[in-house]
Amino acid sequence: MTIDAPPQPRAAHAAVQPQPKPRSPLGSTGRPTTAQTAQHTAFAAAGEAAEPISRPIDQARAALPADLLADDEIIIMWLKPSPLYIILASLGSLVLIATLTLLLAYLSALSLPKAAWSDTDAFLFGATIALIRLAWQGLEWWNQTYVLTDRRIIAIYGVLRRSYFHAPLQQIQHIAVVQTIRERAFGLGTLAFATAGSDGYDAAWLSLAHPFQIYRQVNNAIDRYGKRH
């Protein structure tokens, strides 16, 4: 199922008197103040379910590369794929491994020709290969990080070779929620992002829990911050 919906235009507002600009939006360290962080965290959670969607915001900067974010850039959401991604992304390989294991076990039971392995050997072999496949997929899950800030979206991928994608909020032209059959069965979904001038989707946040809530939060951030930077 695919939901295609470009960011909603801002509603017209009545004219208001301009307010004086604060002297400094940051603390003395040049980083967002505690009040600012709390305000943006509240914005990220406003109107959503009681179950947290984002990982703890106060741990995000320590987990991300030191020079990835600007000092005054505020994190709204910090996400990873659902842990079920490890199983779902490996499912095709696991089915193939199980089929091969059963075939080897069946051949070991035949009297002619005499197999060089037993059915126990076949199952141990299959279990070992399955564990290796799941371990690799676990590493991929661990190394995937998705971030929404007040300036941009970020996607980080890769185990041996790291890839960093980021796009300013004002360049995000289209967001789609895509659910494969596997994802839909577990309430997961993938967010795909298209930027200005691209013919397709440039990046994706894979196998997210609460995909439609995250979709709304990203759209809200674009509406709120997309014209500011």
Summarize pLDDT for 96-107 with one digit per residue, the tens. 999 999 998 888
Query: Where residue 54 falls among pLDDT bands split at 50, 70, 90?
Result: low
Which segments of 110-225 does DSSP mark as H helices, in order? Answer: 119-142, 181-185, 211-225
Tell me the C-alpha distance between 81 and 61, whole Å. 18
Q: What is the mean pLDDT of residues 90-96?
A: 95
Give the closest residue to 209 by CA, choosing from 82, 88, 83, 89: 82
Give tens-digit pLDDT for 160-180. 999 999 999 999 999 999 999
Give tens-digit pLDDT for 193-207. 999 888 888 999 999
Kindly report the pTM of this predicted structure.
Answer: 0.71
Peptide bond into 113 cis (omega under 30): yes
145: part of which helix (H) or strand (E)? strand 145-149
| Amino acid present at 71 | D
Q: Chain centroid to CA 161: how far?
A: 18
Q: What is the mean pLDDT of residues 133-140?
A: 96
How do beta strands 163-168 and 152-157 pair? antiparallel
Average pLDDT, the chain: 79
Query: Tokens 């190394």 label which residue?
Result: 143
Q: Chain centroid to CA 82: how far?
A: 8
